[in-house]
Homo-oligomer: A and B are copies of this chain.
Amino acid sequence: MEHISGGVCAAKGFKAGGVHCGIRKNRTKRDLSMIVSEVPASAAAVYTQNLVKGAPILVTKRNIANGIAQAMICNSGNANTCNADGEEIAWKMCELAGQAAGIKPEDVIVASTGVIGQPLPIDPIASGMGPLVSSLSDHGSNEAAEGIMTTDTRLKEVAVSFTAGGVTCHLGGIAKGSGMIHPNMATMLVFLTCDAAISPALLQKALSADAQDSFNMISIDGDTSTNDMVSIMANGLAGNAPITEENEDYAAFCAALKEVTTTLCRAIAKDGEGATRLLTCIVTGGKTIKDAKLAAKSVVCSSLLKAAIFGSDANWGRVLCALGYSGAEIDVQAVDVAFRSTKGMITVCQNGASVDFSEEKAKEILLEDEIDVLITLRDGDASATAWGCDLTYDYVKINGDYRT
């Protein structure tokens, strides 16, 4: 497996693009993106667990119920959620995209992101569809990635190549994240493309399993969004023997998927709203996977710890506190905690109690951009990783006045 360039266009037969159509006021920001496959593709998706679901999610669910899709259309600037005519508008987006790209509207994955509860005007989308389709190209992944950004500060895309059945395949993705990112899916938009041939059922199985360890282990602010989803299209143009059972090729596909999703997870967490640091919590020695996951998630969700990380303060008491209310079965008298970055590692708590450590060294470690919190439990051999970010003034600023 190898990292390559190209994002969602790394896989054969996929074109992408993004334009400004006018949903966002700022004319320099793209707000409408599209990805199209030359041929119909196997499709799968995972969705938010929020009871309030964006209208595009309802339409996408129906559209890919047959396991087939050929394109995705997504706007930013408006979530098309809590609107009386939301489903109608989302379906209209599919029709417009299908018409312009020459594919069936029911083969379109549709998504929207942005403010909730404001009617989404269809006019800018209708008039933008022509320029959007004209802009599609096999090096358009960047533009598509830009068009789905909201408060993201960095474009997020990745691609890898891997081998299945002796054939080189490609899997790539773009993502948007920032706020409203929290465990329990699908709290961001991620669009994945792949040129391997794989059955819709296995594609869904792989994606659902992967999300448990990737996107469900990120938290920016504890809010689970209404709109977001992770979708994948696999069009088979690599020419591998179709993956229809859980064999070696399936394993290779899953490994490539994991590499792509984990890379996007880190990018999303690091670019959390206002974030200055990527916070990775690695728990080992858990009684069960469930306990290890609960523990890791609780730590990256703690507002108090997140603020301490912003201040480069080795306040490990807040780590123990977060473990204590995580709901995980933990022997709190047998917990070790260490902080790690490129500047080294420092143990700050052993057996649930304070140990002498150099505050200076801790500060040096915690001033880096990427901080690992290493937690050793002595309850078993399960482990888990969760990703988050620090809590900063800018998070408050961004969210204090997002809508107006």
Q: Which residues of A contact B (CB under 8 A)?
A: 49-53, 79, 81-84, 115-119, 179-180, 182, 184, 221-226, 301-304, 307-308, 310-311, 313-318, 320-325, 330, 332, 349, 352-354, 359, 391-393, 395-404
Known: A311-B400, A321-B226. A349 touches B304 (CB 8 A): no
Task: A83 to B318: give the CA distance in the assembly, Å.
Answer: 14
Asked if residues B392 and A330 are in contact (CB atoms below 8 Å), the reply is no
Task: A52 to B117: give the CA distance in the assembly, Å.
Answer: 41
What is the distance, in angstroms, from A130's C-beta to the closest C-beta of chain B?
30
Task: A396 to B79: give the CA distance in the assembly, Å.
Answer: 29
Known: A324-B52, A395-B307. A117 touches B316 (CB 8 A): yes
Asked if residues A317 and B116 are in contact (CB atoms below 8 Å), the reply is yes
Asked if residues B180 and A304 are in contact (CB atoms below 8 Å), the reply is yes
**By DSSP majority rule, is chain A's interface helix, strand, loop, or mixed?**
loop
Known: A116-B318, A313-B403. A324 touches B223 (CB 8 A): no
Known: A354-B83, A354-B119, A396-B310. A50 touches B321 (CB 8 A): yes
Asked if residues A222 and B301 are in contact (CB atoms below 8 Å), the reply is yes
Asked if residues B117 and A349 are in contact (CB atoms below 8 Å), the reply is yes
Task: A224 to B352: give the CA distance in the assembly, Å.
Answer: 17
Known: A353-B117, A354-B118, A354-B119. A82 touches B320 (CB 8 A): yes
Which of B321, B352, B402 contacts A315, CB < 8 Å?
B402
What is the distance, in angstroms, from A118's C-beta to the closest C-beta of chain B?
6
Task: A288 to B306: give the CA distance in the assembly, Å.
Answer: 34
Q: List 14 A-B contacts (CB under 8 A).
A: A50-B321, A50-B324, A82-B353, A115-B315, A222-B301, A223-B321, A224-B325, A303-B395, A307-B399, A308-B399, A308-B400, A311-B400, A395-B396, A396-B396
